[in-house]
Amino acid sequence: MSQQGGRPARRDDDWWRQLYDDSTEDTGPSAAPDSLDDRFASARNTVAGRPGGQSGSGAEPGAEGGDGDDDGGGTGTRRRQEPSVPGQRAPHAPPGGPPADRPAPAAPAPPAEPPETAPVTPPVPAEPPRTAPAGPRVPAPPSQPPAAAPATPPAPAGPPPAPVLASPAPLAEPPVASAPPGTPAPPGEPPAPPGEPPRAAPRTPAQPPDSAAPASVDYVGSGPPTYDPEPTALPTAEPDELGELVPDTVLDGARYGACTLRAVSLRGDSARYRGEPRRDALLTARFGSGEQALLLVAMATGARATPGAHLAAAEACRWIGRAVGRSHQRLVEDLRAARRGDLKSGLHRLTDRSLGRLRASAAEQGADPEEYTATLRCLLLPADPDCRTRVFFGVGEGGLFRLRDGEWQDIEPRVSPAETTGAPVVGFGSPPAETPEGDRLTLDFGIPTPPSPYEPAPQPPREPFRFRASVARPGDALVMCTEGLAGPLRGEAALCAYLARRWSGRAAPGLAAFLADAQVRVKGYADDRTAAAVWEA
């Protein structure tokens, strides 16, 4: 070729212009695709199939092994002028077309049309073929999906297979996990094919959930209680006496040494309905630190139908707390040494002193000592893990139970009638043993002695002092409670069975679970409930 604008220097370049000039008319339509690649493939196959193994570009039209695609139009000259050297690329081949230097084995085809070869890489033709080939061919994958293809696959006629966990579930069927419990499998569903995970069976009501535990209930017994289960009315309040208000529920807990403590005090259904304050009081305190610490749980119940009953109960807990706190070091030593006699006498003295202060407070307030009083029950727990002695003491009705091996044991200390009535008072129906001067009386005429104006008035019989010291075993649960919970525990077997199932485990329940268990209601029992439970590790 010459420079731009020049004429060719030799006539040998005329064949290029004659072969690729656009002005040259075509010989006519052909049954096979007519492109540059097709012509090159036809010439190569013609040369390769020539008899005698001669190579060249001058194959005769219609010769054995030739393509014969000139269609009698004299296109043999063009075929002879195409390059036939393997590895040589056509100068004007489109950039996106398949390479011409990759030979592929020819497939047998009728002599009427040439066979096509499958390219190694997916071809991107510059223009679609004019006519479809009549013989078998390998279709090339299209570069883009057809426009008529739906966006989502259609739902199969039969039940679809189980979805694989790594891929999203088909839209025609929801995932197995979203099926509600109790939904049966579709009828006639085939089993999962080999190699695929089996379909998860829907959960039925007969199958309990994993790690199933007894669920808390609202009530036990023959029927629901009369009152509502939740608080209804609040107690009345005075603007200048807001410190006397008590909350509806008090919840506390701790863990020291080998024991875990849970304590709760809640208002009864009757008080919640009438808007009365909680008459039970609860005190949990720790005195000292380390292994010398001592835990005290005190609970008191004020007199029924008394205006200041809740104040008397709270004051009784404060007085006994102060007395035990000031003597906690001596009490810890007696607990470690198991001095039962010293503990009983010392705690009896502290209890009488605390209740005496409560009566003195009633006199100062101008209240009746018989109304401004309370029952008192206490539990002492040493923090030393090597000391498993548990001491109960108090005055008044209530309950002390031990849950061992799933069975309830009522270990409330029993008192004799003599202890309940007390000893006779001198000068009131019983003769004195001796006179103040020391003379002993040997004759009793049965004449009652009138009261002396110099002696204090006789006091009514008081509640006996209750005391019990026990050694805990691993797995035990010790429960101390007021009469509001002791009554249904002794009178309703269903409540005993329910709490035995809930509290028999070695692990103590949480605060919320303990509260739910303690407030299980029983018809006919609507008083305040206060309870403290200790689980032994």
Q: Which CATH number characterizes residue 336's domain?
A: 3.60.40.10
Give the whole-angstrom CA distance, residue 15 versus residue 5: 19
Cα 26 from Cα 20, distance rounded (Å): 11
Q: Classify strands 219-220 and 280-287 as parallel, antiparallel or unpaired.
A: unpaired
Q: What is residue 23's predicted lDDT score, i.e. its pLDDT?
A: 57
Q: Among the listed ranges 117-126, 235-244, 482-491, which one has the minimum average pLDDT value?
A: 117-126
- pLDDT the model gives residue 305: 87
Q: Is residue 468 situated within a structural domain? A: yes
Q: For strand 521-522 and strand 219-220, is the pairing parallel, antiparallel, or unpaired? A: parallel
Of residues 208 and 530, more confidence is placed in: 530
Which residues have C-beta within 8 Å of that of residue 42, sequence separation ≥ 6?
Answer: 67, 69, 79, 114
Chain segment 28-51, per-residue pLDDT in tens:
555 656 678 888 888 888 887 654
Spell out a b/e string for 2-20, using b for 16 or more CB atoms within 10 Å of the CB, else e.
Answer: eeeeeeeeeeeeeeeeeee
Evaluate if residue 62 carries a pLDDT over 50: no
Q: Per-residue pLDDT tens for 223-260?
A: 889 898 899 999 999 999 898 999 999 999 999 988 99
Helix (H, G, I), strand (E, B) or coil at 280: strand
How far is Cα 85 from Cα 350, in angstroms, rounded to an integer? 121
- Work out the number of other CB atoms within 10 angstroms of the CB of residue 502: 19
CA distance 393 to 354: 13
Pairing type for strands 465-471 and 529-536 reads: unpaired
Does residue 271 surpass a pLDDT of 60? yes
DSSP state of 469: E
Average pLDDT (185-201) is: 49
Q: What total of structural domains would you count in the chain?
A: 1
Whole-number pLDDT of residue 213: 53
Highest mean pLDDT among 172-176, 180-184, 442-446, 528-532: 528-532
What's the pLDDT at 301?
97
| Ranges 138-142, 411-415, 493-497: which has the least confidence | 138-142
The answer to whether residue 318 sits within a structural domain is: yes
- 478 three-class SS: strand
Task: Give the C-alpha separation, 371 to 362, whole Å.
Answer: 9
Cα dihedral 199, 203, 208, 212, rounded to 10, equals 80
Dihedral pair phi/psi, residue 374, rounded to 5°:
-160, 155
Pairing of strands 249-256, 477-481: unpaired
Residue 469 lies in a domain: yes
DSSP code of 288?
A: S
The secondary structure of 395-421 as a DSSP string is ESS-EEEEEETTEEEE-PPP--HHHHH
In a domain, 151, yes or no: no
Structural domain includes residue 515: yes
> What residues contact residue 380 under an 8 Å CB cut-off, 6+ apart?
294, 295, 296, 324, 331, 335, 390, 391, 392, 393
For residue 210, CA distances in Å to 202, 203, 213, 483, 508 come to 14, 11, 9, 38, 20
Residue 7 lies in a domain: no
Amino acid occupying residue 54:
Q
DSSP state at residue 75: -
Cα(first)–Cα(last) distance of the chain, in Å? Answer: 104
pLDDT in tens, 319-378: 999 999 999 999 999 999 999 999 999 999 999 999 999 999 999 999 988 889 999 999
Which CA distances in Å does 155 have to 163, 171, 173, 193, 522? 13, 8, 9, 19, 57
Please report whether residue 1 resides in a domain.
no
More confident residue, 476 or 112: 476
Between 6-10, 205-209, 244-248, the lowest mean confidence (pLDDT) is in 205-209
Say if CB 285 and CB 321 are below 8 A apart. yes
Mapped onto helix, strand or coil, the DSSP state of residue 184 is coil
Does some domain include residue 285?
A: yes
Partnered with residue 368 across adjacent β-strands are none
Higher pLDDT, 534 or 216: 534
Query: Which structural domain range is residue 319 located in?
Result: 229-236+243-431+460-536
Closest CA to 460 of 367, 349, 317, 359: 359
Most confident of 86-100, 391-405, 437-451: 391-405
* SS3 label, residue 509: coil
| Residue 168, beta-bridge partner list | none
Average pLDDT of the chain is 73
Please list, in sequence order, all residues whose beta carbon lies within 8 angstroms of the beta carbon of residue 476, skipping any fewer than 6 positions away. 402, 403, 404, 535, 536
Task: State residue 445's pLDDT score.
Answer: 54
Give the model's confidence band at 82: pLDDT under 50 very low, under 70 low, under 90 confident, else very high: very low
pLDDT reading at 57 higher than 80: no
Q: Which residue has the higher pLDDT, 33 or 399?
A: 399
- How many Cβ atoms from other residues are within 10 Å of residue 314's Cβ? 22
